[in-house]
Chain A
């Protein structure tokens, strides 16, 4: 009896803990199904929109896009009359899969201890059944960059599909980047009061030591890589003793994985570019609140920007009110490649609206759409697989009743990797349940 009660209690406790994160129904035919969406307006993004067009999805891929297409046998036909078809959107910076409840440490896996964590790999800690995933994807976001944060070298991000039973099934690219939380002098934090003279001194000292630590680590990594290469080419018996931290930096040092450097202030962005030059590794800037003060440099060094979050307050009191809203237009005008990131998890679903906010302040609407589709795909080197509606690409496809960057637009169909994903989430289920409360 006692045992049974205990077991029952345990079962009840588990049931009452949605915090554990249980994604809603994902049962569907899998990526094997074939679908044809007919008579819709198709927005391939990389080419002009097609009125009364069709798109064929089969075997997880986009098979054909055009005015007239061949329908594979047995394909499910979807009438797209009055509807629009777009590629699924991409958020270029989130912690989706690494966090469930913001303030509950046990559900957060974003920041490892210590300053140097190049060997922290987001792809191994993703929770495929997080409730955040369906909440995000039913707003048309099919792919996100999930990134570790904090410290100095935060770890390796993964570009993930928002569907899959296991982390490997979700991962599109890992590592997508080596993330550096660039040191900054914390005397006048982005919001808050300046410190006293003593505090300022301490902050500067800490800043210098953090920069040194970063440079030292990369010097060591280069030496390690050199030794490793030498042993691979010349003498396999003299491999350097495996150092997990330095080993994680080898693909970075070899130029196979870019640095994604998080920096917001002008001085920090400049220092980050200097650092990237010194170590001779290409960088992608993430954050970028003050990009408008470094446009020529970003352009001449060909640094792409993962801009955002856009819905953020300007850092300085005398910044223009629309500083964050106007950054994207400035980057576009300067010819600098950029994508939009929300920097969040639970409200990564704001991605399309934050992109639109840039369009309200000077960015052409088509460019806003590109910033959440093909541009990030290009920046992360996966434009051959996602980011547009083109034959041969992974079928990340959204069907809407209007412009996907508008709040009032509804998603009516969602395909991720060719799977017909139900438009349910923990939120829609709660809504259904309590709509029925007697």
Chain B
């Protein structure tokens, strides 16, 4: 990026070529050291998630990756490694939130049509949402940013890491498979929304209608695909007009081809079964059922469908009719029936303590600690198709790590440090120090602003006086 900018400004390069060369080489040197830079976190209780918990454990990071994990005496770092003494602390992989609406500019609902599968969350991401930082402070490093639930088929998702302070282009995980939001039940039934006066209610108004919107979309998609197949197969293309490209149908076709992960917002068991049957009929999979508060009632059906399971908030219930049968044992019951389950937030606030929601899976229904830890980490990573990169502490994985003051399942614990790809994005001590700096900076800015305002006033006054004088002179 910076090289591109330099070459575009050739004249600057000529005039200050020496300086620029120095700059480039410094940059390259930095990049190189960053790639080889080693950090050794030692004497932590290392919760690897996939290979048990190591008391007195070490994790060696080189550049952005984890390169070694094991007991302290088995992990060696190079001479220049930065050493973090984590005595008494717990280290776990960054928490992954499979249902987020953070860092989206404006509304997350393109509410205008029953199917808005052509719109993309990627186009509305912002790196200025302070919630991203606050979630880092709660140990969350990755989120599945979803479209809202106003439509039976909503927009396309973005899987991002909370790289607070970095350009937004660096936030998405490049190799995360694309996904799309579906929504069933109360929300897409527009009967539940009050449209402004004079605006007609929008189809569908019942769960029957929601099913038909989905069926209609894929029926049309099949026809669209057939049209293209015919075109592609035709020998005399030169004499034919190609089918018109339709961005919505393109997306629906990609779902049918199995290239897009469907994340389906749902609550009641009947609508879950409905969607499974519809997906089976059209030959695609529902990657994850989202919220899925009645998943425990049809856990077997969800498991048999063969998708990537369920993401749910563990104990929210009763906020609407379709959430009334939500029970906190849902995670345990689904897990026991062979469903891959993650705990997620759907909330900027809840995303700050998903570790505790995972802990509740032990309390309600008795999952083991290991099973419960997975619901906030590796299970979520697998559901988002990024299990090869994140979700556990293993050599070769991204160094997305959270250092806790105590066991992450203790209500008394707090996050001390959060890292993404070997870079510290949150550190409690740093945060505390920065508060004073920020306060001073804020006060200085306010003073500056006040002074500027006063100067402006004074000038306006004198200019007003001057022009009067000018007029007088003319006369």
A interface residues, how many (CB within 8 angstroms): 45
Q: Is A311 an interface residue (CB 8 A)?
A: yes
> B329 near A427 (CB under 8 angstroms)?
yes
Binding site secondary structure of chain B: loop
Q: How far is the CA of A103 from the CA of B185 in the complex (A)?
A: 14
Chain B contacts for A312, CB-based, 8 A: 349
Chain B contacts for A405, CB-based, 8 A: 411-412
Q: A322-B137, A360-B411, A431-B333 are in contact. Are A311 and B319 (CB under 8 A)?
A: no
Known: A408-B359, A431-B296. 13 other contacts (CB 8 A): A102-B318, A102-B319, A103-B320, A313-B131, A313-B349, A318-B438, A320-B435, A365-B412, A407-B360, A408-B363, A410-B363, A427-B317, A430-B296
Chain B contacts for A322, CB-based, 8 A: 137
- 8 Å CB interface, A328-380 against B: 345-347, 349-350, 352-353, 356-357, 359-361, 365
Chain B contacts for A427, CB-based, 8 A: 317, 327-329, 364
CB proximity of A133 to chain B, nearest CB, Å: 12
- 8 Å CB interface, B352-409 against A: 352-353, 356, 359-360, 362-365, 405, 409
* A/B interface sample: 7 pairs, CB < 8 A: A101-B319, A313-B349, A317-B130, A321-B137, A325-B414, A361-B414, A427-B364
> A431 near B365 (CB under 8 angstroms)?
yes
- 8 Å CB interface, B3-18 against A: none
Q: Is A18 an interface residue (CB 8 A)?
A: yes
> B356 near A353 (CB under 8 angstroms)?
yes
Greatest chain A CB density within 10 A among B137, B327, B364, B413 is at B327
CB proximity of B417 to chain A, nearest CB, Å: 14
Q: How far is the CA of A103 from the CA of B133 in the complex (A)?
A: 31
Q: Is B324 an interface residue (CB 8 A)?
A: yes
- The listed residue (B333, B359, B364, B442) touching A318 by CB distance below 8 A is B442
Q: Is B431 an interface residue (CB 8 A)?
A: yes
Q: How far is the CA of A359 from the CA of B405 in the complex (A)?
A: 12
Of chain A, the residue at the smallest CB distance from B320 is A103
- 8 Å CB interface, A1-30 against B: 18-19
B interface residues, how many (CB within 8 angstroms): 45
Chain A contacts for B296, CB-based, 8 A: 430-431, 434
> B411 near A407 (CB under 8 angstroms)?
yes
Binding site secondary structure of chain A: loop
Give A contacts to B, CB under 8 Å.
18-19, 100-104, 131-132, 311-314, 317-318, 320-322, 325, 345-347, 349-350, 352-353, 356-357, 359-361, 365, 405-408, 410, 426-428, 430-431, 434-435, 437
- 8 Å CB interface, B282-320 against A: 296-297, 300, 315-320
Chain A contacts for B212, CB-based, 8 A: none
Chain B contacts for A19, CB-based, 8 A: 321, 324
Q: How far is the CA of A426 from the CA of B317 in the complex (A)?
A: 12
CB proximity of B330 to chain A, nearest CB, Å: 9
Q: How far is the CA of A312 from the CA of B347 in the complex (A)?
A: 10
